[in-house]
Amino acid sequence: MRKPIAFSLAHGACAVALVLCACAQPQQRVQIGMDQQAIVAKLGPPKETYDLPNGGKRLMWPTQPMGSTTVAVDLDASGKTTSVRQVLQDTEFYRAEVNKWTRDDVLVAFGRPFETVYFKMMDREVWSYRYMESNIYHMLFNFYFDQQGVLRNTQKQPDPQFDPSQRNMF
């Protein structure tokens, strides 16, 4: 009689392990030192690729326009992974330096925005990125650029897409 219980417990443990493996974030499947070919085998081809000042590359797997994550893998000049992270989060956004960064800096740091808007009265172009604050709140992070492409302001706000009181306003 114990055999069926042990057998069902083993199956249950395997099922839990499979579910947990399926929940692994893409950045958790990439390790420092992996080469580009191994990364592409695990994550698929990147949707965006940017050159870095050190001669390396940044590969990106965004989920925008509706998603809230972008996995970025930095490769050194020899093609080995030096950094893996989810870049659409507060700690990454707050690295942006107002009056110093440009559109190119924001593009390389976060990838293409899900939306760009020009505000004529302010004479600013605004790039918006969806993200999750504290893995709870659906937010937008906005970057405001002047005509020369210099970052002049940043702002975060609740994402109206997920705010029932704002649904019919946009």
Query: Is 6 among the domain residues?
Result: no
User: How confident is the model at residue 162, as a pLDDT?
Assistant: 86
Residue 8 pLDDT > 60: no
CA distances from 69 to 14, 85, 104 (A): 29, 10, 19
Cα distance between residue 143 and residue 131, in whole Å = 14
Q: Decide: pTM greater than 0.85.
A: no
Lowest mean pLDDT among 25-39, 47-61, 102-116: 25-39
Query: Is 147 among the domain residues?
Result: yes
User: How confident is the model at residue 107, as a pLDDT?
Assistant: 98
Element (H, E) at 106: helix 103-110
User: How confident is the model at residue 30, as a pLDDT?
Assistant: 78
Residue 91 domain boundaries? 28-166
Q: Name which of 25, 82, 27 is nearest 57 in CA terms.
A: 82
Q: Number of folded domains in the chain?
A: 1
Q: What is the mean pLDDT of the chain?
A: 87
